[in-house]
Amino acid sequence: KILVTGALGQIGSELVSKLRELYGSSNVIGSDIRKEGDVVEQGPFEIIDVTDEKRLYEVAKEYKVDTVMHLAALLSATAEKNPKLAWDINMGGLVNALEVARELDLQFFTPSSIGAFGPTTPKDGTPQDTLQRPTTMYGVNKVSGELLCDYYCQRFGVDTRGVRYPGLISYVAPPGGGTTDYAVEIYYEAIKNKAYTSYIGEGTYMDMMYMPDALNAIVQLMEADPSKLEHRNAFNISAISAAPEDFAKAIRKHIPEFELSYDVDPVRQKIADSWPNSIDSSAAAKEWGFKAEYDLDKMTKEMLEKISEKSNR
Ligand code: VAH
């Protein structure tokens, strides 16, 4: 049985549905700070504020879960606006979830991010093991989180595993407060207005991934043979390295008149500039068979189709 925190978030809302399909609805308990939406109707759901360790422990114990997938967190741009709150939620929530996993001997997943790298990290083909001096609160949270998860594995034997996610793109739940959100907004605007004004500047490369690949990665990693894992927290995984103009080019194959313009947001541009252009996923491929299925064109085709369907409903 799996407890998912942050189940109403960009990853959580789709992950809960996928896990319920794979393992049965009654075996996947969604949780978030409020109770709303389809994910609540389709299976067990509890209100959990992850800064409340006792509540986390009680729910995990009551449902006799054997796995925690901890997704509750503030993303990069929001974290820069509220750094202390981000520390309290991102680190306070994580250590609470790790403590529950230790006390109840649970398998543990939480995502890191390309945000765990900083301006002094090699930017092209960023290696699995390299310098990590992020300059954002979110990045500090992600590096600390990686070290904390490795610590709980080495010190207490908790089976912790994680991936460094690139920007995630999906048509189901929009991201909230990320730097890479432009890569989702651009598709909605392309359908609505055949135009988009990007807050990230031309030529700004970041790693991106379509949500189905992101969800498959979690299942694959969590089901991997632990004896094959040389790394744990957290594996570089990526699918697409792209800048705003690359998205526009892919969209124009379906909407030829699509127009892209720029109105750069200095805060999110500064965050984006501190991150890699592309990361190397070879450790994940070698240790647990990671392989992304969607490239930019395949993702773009599906995103435009699915968003059109949604807007015609
Ligand atoms: C963000 N979407 O923008 C998240 C993610 C790599 C980006 O961490 O903060």
Q: Return the pLDDT at 295.
A: 98
Which atom of ligand 1 has the smallest separation from the CA of 175?
Answer: 2
pLDDT at 63: 98
Q: Residue of the nearest CA to atom 5 in ligand 1? A: 167
In the reported structure, the alpha carbon of residue 160 is separated from the centroid of ligand 1 by a whole-number distance in angstroms of 21
List, in sequence order, the alpha helices (H) in 157-261: 182-193, 211-223, 244-252
pLDDT value of position 66: 98
Q: Angle at Cα 236 formed by Cα 235 and Cα 239, nearest 5°?
A: 130
Closest CA to 182 of 196, 166, 164: 196
Q: Report how far apart, in Å, the C-alpha atoms of 20 and of each of 27, 39, 43, 105, 294 are.
A: 7, 10, 8, 22, 23
Residues 213/218/221/224 CA torsion (nearest 10 deg): -100
**Alpha carbon of 61 to ligand 1 centroid (Å):** 31
- State the distance from the centre of ligand 1 to the C-alpha of 24, rounded, in angstroms: 30
**Listed residue (200, 210, 170) closest to 77, CA to CA:** 200
The catalytic residues are 138
- Between the two ends of the chain, the Cα-to-Cα distance in Å is 35
Testing ligand 1's pocket by substitution, the residue of 74, 169, 180, 207 carrying the most ligand atoms inside 8 A of its CB is: 180
Average pLDDT of adjacent 10-residue blocks, the chain of 313 residues: 97 96 97 92 96 98 98 96 98 98 98 98 98 98 98 98 97 89 97 98 98 98 98 98 98 98 97 97 98 98 96 82
Report the atom number in ligand 1 closest to the C-alpha of 168. 2
Ligand 1 center from residue 104 Cα (angstroms): 30
Instruction: Using most ligand atoms within 8 A of CB, pick from 75, 132, 208 the residue to mutate for ligand 1.
Output: 75
Residue from 10, 112, 138, 271 to probe ligand 1 pocket by mutation (most atoms less than 8 Å from CB)? 138
ipTM reported for the complex, 2 dp: 0.94
Query: How far apart, in whole angstroms, are the C-alpha atoms of residue 184 and residue 174?
Result: 7
Nearest atom (ligand 1) to Cα of 10: 2
The pLDDT, as a whole number, for residue 1 is: 98
Tell me what pLDDT residue 174 has.
Answer: 82
Nearest CA to ligand 1 atom 4: 178
Question: What residue owns the CA closest to ligand 1's atom 7?
Answer: 167
pLDDT, one tens digit per residue, over 200-220 is: 999 999 999 999 999 999 999
Q: Which atom of ligand 1 is nearest to the CA of 76?
A: 9
Q: Can you give the pLDDT at residue 173?
A: 86
58 C-alpha vs ligand 1 centroid, how far in Å?
30
Residue-level pLDDT at 38: 86
| Distance in Å, CA 173 to ligand 1 centroid | 14
Contact 235, 299 (CB under 8 A): no
Q: Cα dist. 30→1, 6, 34, 277 in Å?
A: 11, 8, 11, 34
Per-residue confidence (pLDDT) for residue 311, from 0 to 100: 87
Q: For ligand 1, which residues put their CB under 6 angstroms from it?
A: 75-76, 113-115, 138, 165-168, 175, 178-180
